[in-house]
Amino acid sequence: MIDALSVLDWVTLIALFVATAALFMAVYRVFVGPTIVDRIAAADSIGNTIVIILAIYAFSQDSPFLIDIALLLAIISFIGTLAMSKYVDRGDVI
């Protein structure tokens, strides 16, 4: 008989592995991206992927504190992406 807890642990581990692989692909795109727009999109993807990793880890550890940190990081990542996009479009942020 398969234990339900061990299956959940395996699924969590696989999800963390896939999210980490996506993180490395986005980091590669930040360094190699042919245009600044690609690099901005990859930086936003890095922020979102880190939020996903934190959420998965918080679920596996049953820690609501990490969910709060993930939400804060998502807000900061969104504001940073908006600022970078506005700077590329207009030349200044304000």
Read off the pLDDT of residues 27-43 as tens digits, 9 standing for 90 and up.
999 999 899 989 999 99
* CA-closest candidate to residue 75, choices 55, 53, 48, 57: 48
User: Is 41:32 a contact under the CB 8 Å cutoff?
Assistant: no
- Domain borders along the chain are 4-90
Read off the pLDDT of residues 16-75 as tens digits, 9 standing for 90 and up.
999 999 999 999 999 998 999 899 999 999 999 999 999 999 998 988 899 999 999 999
Q: What is the CA radius of gyration of the chain?
A: 17
What value does the mean pLDDT take over residues 71-84? 93
